[in-house]
Structure 1
Amino acid sequence: MEAKRATIKDVAEAAGVGVATVSRVLSGGSASPATRERVLAVAAQLDYRPSALGRNLRQRRTGGIGLLVPDLTDTFFGQLAEGVLACARSAGEPVVLGSTGDDPEQEAELVGMLLEQSVDRVIAVPSGGADTWGPAARAGMTVVFADRLPAERPGDAPSGPMPGSMSGSASGSTADLMLLDGVPPPPPSPPVLPTGVPAVLADDRAGIRTAVRYLRGLGHRRIAFLGGPGHDRRVAAFREAIGPAVDEDLVVFATGSRDSAYAAASGLFQSRPDLTAVLAGGNVLGEAAVLAARELDLRVPRDVSLVMYDDVPWAELCSPPLTVIAQPGRDIGYRACELVLRASGRRPRTVVLPTELIVRGSCGPLR
C-alpha cells in the first residue's frame, strides 16, 4: 500500500506553527529565520514537496474557484456570493466557499488550504495584507479582490488611490460636487494595487460624498461616521467630504461583530448627544445604529438622521424606512468572477461600479 502523502497540515503540526506560516515559508513569504529553518526541516523530514504549492498549480488546473468572504451572515456578502455563484455556474465551475471572520490569520490558513487542494483561482474580500496575498500570487494563484483592497484596517490610510468612476476618474456628478465644495477632483487614474492584482470595487467616494452633501443640505453639521473592517476608503471619503473641520470624536470604529457594532453606536450616541446625523459604513453598523437609537429613545429622524451604506431588504421595512447608499453587491461578485475566469494572458484591470443614494424617511431637516 502506498504511504499517505504528507500534507501542509502535517508540516504545520510537526513544526508547531500554523498552516498560514507553512504556506508563507514554502511560497517564499515573510518569516523569521528560525521559523523558516524549522518549517523547511520538517518538510524535508516528512518528504513534503513544495511543488504541491507552486509547480503543480502552474502545470495543471483542477478546476474550481475559491471564494473568501468575512461573514456569510452579512447580507451584502451573501449578495456578492450569489453573483460569483451565478457566473461560475454559467461557466460550469464549482465554487469553494470560505468564511475568514475578518481574521488575517484565518484567511491565510484558508489560502494555504486552497493551495494544498490546487485551487488556483480565488476571489477574496481580503482581510490580510501582502504577507498573505504576495506568496499566494507567487505560488501561481490567480487572485481577484472584491469590495475592498488588502490590508485595509479601520483607521489605516488607503492602500491605493480611491475610485472615482468606471474608468477610475471622478464621474461628472462627483467632480461637480467636489468642485462646489472646494476640493479638487482626483487624478484620472484607476485604483491600482501595488501587486497588480485586479479588483472590483464600488464607488465609495461618490456614494459617501453624495450622502454627506445631502445631509449638509438638510442643515446637519455634526455628522458622525460609524466604520468597521475594510471601511478605510469610506472613512477617507467621509473625512474629505467633511473637510478640515472634521471632528475626529465623531469618527468611530467597531470590529466585525454585531455586539461591537452595537457598542460603538450606543457609545457614540451617549458620548455625543449633540450629533444630529450618523452615516453607518455598512449594513451591520446601520442595524446597530437603529437598535441603539431605539434603546436610547432617540427618534429617527426627529432626534437624529441616519444614512446607511448598503441597501438590504430590511432597510425598507424599518420605521421610518432607511435612506441608503446602494452598492451593486451581486454585480460586484459577478464581475469579479468574470475577471478571475478571464485573467489568464490578459492585463489585470480594476473595475469600479457606481453607487446610488436612495432617499427614504430616515433623514430630516435640522430642527
Structure 2
Amino acid sequence: MDKRATIKDVAEAAGVGVATVSRVLSGGSASPRTRERVLAVAAQLDYRPSALGRNLRQRRTGGMGLLVPDLTDTFYGQLAEGVLACARSTGEPVVVGSTGDDPEQESELIGMLLEQSVDRLIAVPTGDAETWAPAVRAGMTVVFADRLPARPAEEEQQEAVDDLMRLDGLSPAPRPHAPEAPSVLADDRAGIRTAVRYLRGLGHRRIAFLGGPGHDRRVAAFREAVGAPVDEDLVVFATGSRDSAYAAASGLFQSRPDLTAVVAGGNVLGEAAVLAARELDLRVPRDVSLVMYDDVPWAELCSPPLTVIARPGRDMGYRAAELVLRPGGRRPRAVVLPTELIIRGSCAPRR
C-alpha cells in the first residue's frame, strides 16, 4: 500500500514552504500563481485536504500540542511542567515540539500537528498572525502563552496610513483582522517598570536592556520606564541562541563602558551577561548592576545571587492548559499573571 502524501511532500514538490501550503489549502492569502501550483501538486499527489485539519470539528481525536522556542530554556521547562501537570489530571496526551524561534520551523510543526488531527494547541509563538491563521481557520483551539504572535510589518505600516487618513477626515477601507486566540501572559510592563524604578532609586542613570525574540512588550516597557530621550545604543538585541546572547552582552559592555546597570530580558540573556562581565573583569555589582527577567534555580547560586523579575512559569502553563481544555463556551481573551521583583545581591547603589 502506497504511503499517503503529507503536507511536507506537497511543499517540496511545489517548491514552497509548508506554511504556504497550509495557507493555500485553508483559504489563506497567496499569489494566484502560487495557489495554482500548490493546488495542482496536491491533486497530483492525491493529497487529501482533510489532512490539513479542515474536518477537525467533525473528526476530533483528542490530544494537545505544546510548542516552545527552546526546551533547554529553564523557564520554558517550567511552563511545560505546568501544561503536563494539567494534562495528566485529565488524561490528555501531549505532543511537545521545539520551534527554535524559527517561524518556518514553527509553520512546519503546525502543519504536522494538523495532519495528526491534534485539535488543541498551546504555543509560545514565533511567527506572525499570518502563520497562525491556518490553524485557527481549521478549527484548532489555540492558546498563546508568554507572548503573542508578531504583527506583520505591512500591517503596522498600513495602520500608520489609516491613522493619517483619519486625521485628514477620511475613512480607511476596512481590512480583515487576523484570527484571535486566548493568551496567558505575565505582566511584563509592571515587571520591567518596577526593575527600572529600583535601579533609578539606587542612582543608576545609564541603564541598558538586553533583548531577544518575542521581547517586544518588554522593550516597549523599558523605553517607557527610562523615559525620553532613550539612548538607543543601550538597547541591544540578540537572536535566540546562547552564542548570540553572549556576543550581544559582550559587545554592549565593550562599546558602552559608561553604563552602570543592565536589565536582561530573559534567563539566557542574563546568563550571557554574567559570563561576559566575568570575561571582561567587570565586577557585579561594584562595576555594573544586573537585573534578570526570570527566576531560575541557578540565579541564587551566582556570586552574588541575581536580582530577578520572577514570573510564574508553571502557573502560566497550567492556566494555558486549563483554557485550551475548557469545553465550548467563551474563553477570556487574555489572562495576565503578576510578576515580582526579588532583590538579591547583584545590584548596588551607584557611587
Regarding TM over 0.5, the answer is: yes
Pairing 1:244-259 to 2, within 5 Å after superposition: 244-259=228-243
Number of equivalent positions: 330
Q: Which residue of 2 aligns with 1:325?
A: 309
Question: Deviation of residue 195 (structure 1)?
Answer: 2.9
For structure 1, the residue ranges without an aligned partner over 5 or more in a row are 158-192
Question: Do the aligned residues in 1 keep the contact of 2:307 with 2:347 (CA within 8 Å)?
Answer: yes
Question: Deviation of residue 348 (structure 1)?
Answer: 4.1
Question: Do the aligned residues in 1 keep the contact of 2:7 with 2:52 (CA within 8 Å)?
Answer: no
1:303 aligns with 2:287: yes
TM-score, normalised with respect to structure 2: 0.91
Q: Which residue of 1 aligns with 2:333?
A: 349
1:138 aligns with 2:140: no
Distance 1:242 1:69 in 2: 31
> Are residues 293 and 357 of structure 1, via their aligned partners in 2, closer, same or farther at CA, if it must alter by over 3 Å?
same
Distance 2:329 2:73 in 1: 34
Q: Which residue of 2 aligns with 1:49?
A: 48
SS in 2 for 1:77: helix
Q: Which residue of 2 aligns with 1:19?
A: 18
Distance 2:332 2:56 in 1: 19
Distance 2:54 2:34 in 1: 23
Distance 1:286 1:6 in 2: 45
Question: Deviation of residue 14 (structure 1)?
Answer: 2.1
Tell me whether 5-14 or 210-219 shows the greater mean CA deviation: 5-14
Question: Deviation of residue 54 (structure 1)?
Answer: 3.6
> Are residues 337 and 231 of structure 1, via their aligned partners in 2, closer, same or farther at CA, if it must alter by over 3 Å?
same
Q: Which residue of the other structure, out of 200, 209, 217, is the alignment partner of 1:225?
A: 209
Q: Which residue of 2 aligns with 1:110?
A: 109
Pairing 1:131-210 to 2, within 5 Å after superposition: 131-151=130-150, 195-210=179-194
Question: Deviation of residue 33 (structure 1)?
Answer: 1.8
The code of the aligned residue for 1:303 comes to: D
Question: Deviation of residue 47 (structure 1)?
Answer: 1.9
Distance 1:194 1:17 in 2: 22
Q: Which residue of the other structure, out of 296, 301, 323, is the alignment partner of 1:339?
A: 323
The code of the aligned residue for 1:62 comes to: T
Q: Which residue of 1 aligns with 2:260?
A: 276
Distance 2:151 2:80 in 1: 20
Distance 2:64 2:96 in 1: 8
SS in 2 for 1:57: coil
SS in 2 for 1:115: helix
Post-superposition CA distance 1:299-327 (Å, at most 9, x none):
00000000000000000000000000000
Question: Do the aligned residues in 2 keep the contact of 1:277 with 1:304 (CA within 8 Å)?
Answer: yes
Distance 1:103 1:29 in 2: 21
Question: Do the aligned residues in 2 keep the contact of 1:67 with 1:98 (CA within 8 Å)?
Answer: yes
Q: Which residue of 2 aligns with 1:184?
A: none
Post-superposition CA distance 1:178-218 (Å, at most 9, x none):
xxxxxxxxxxxxxxx96331000000011000000000000
For structure 2, the residue ranges without an aligned partner over 5 or more in a row are 157-176
Pairing 1:22-101 to 2, within 5 Å after superposition: 22-101=21-100
Distance 1:303 1:80 in 2: 34
SS in 2 for 1:72: coil
Question: Deviation of residue 36 (structure 1)?
Answer: 1.1
SS in 1 for 2:239: coil
Question: Do the aligned residues in 2 keep the contact of 1:100 with 1:107 (CA within 8 Å)?
Answer: yes
> Are residues 115 and 103 of structure 1, via their aligned partners in 2, closer, same or farther at CA, if it must alter by over 3 Å?
same
Distance 2:227 2:217 in 1: 15
The code of the aligned residue for 2:115 comes to: E
Q: Which residue of 1 aligns with 2:274?
A: 290
Distance 1:341 1:9 in 2: 29
SS in 2 for 1:96: strand
TM-score, normalised with respect to structure 1: 0.87
Question: Deviation of residue 292 (structure 1)?
Answer: 0.4
Post-superposition CA distance 1:270-319 (Å, at most 9, x none):
00000000000000000000000000000000000000000000000000
Q: Which residue of 2 aligns with 1:123?
A: 122
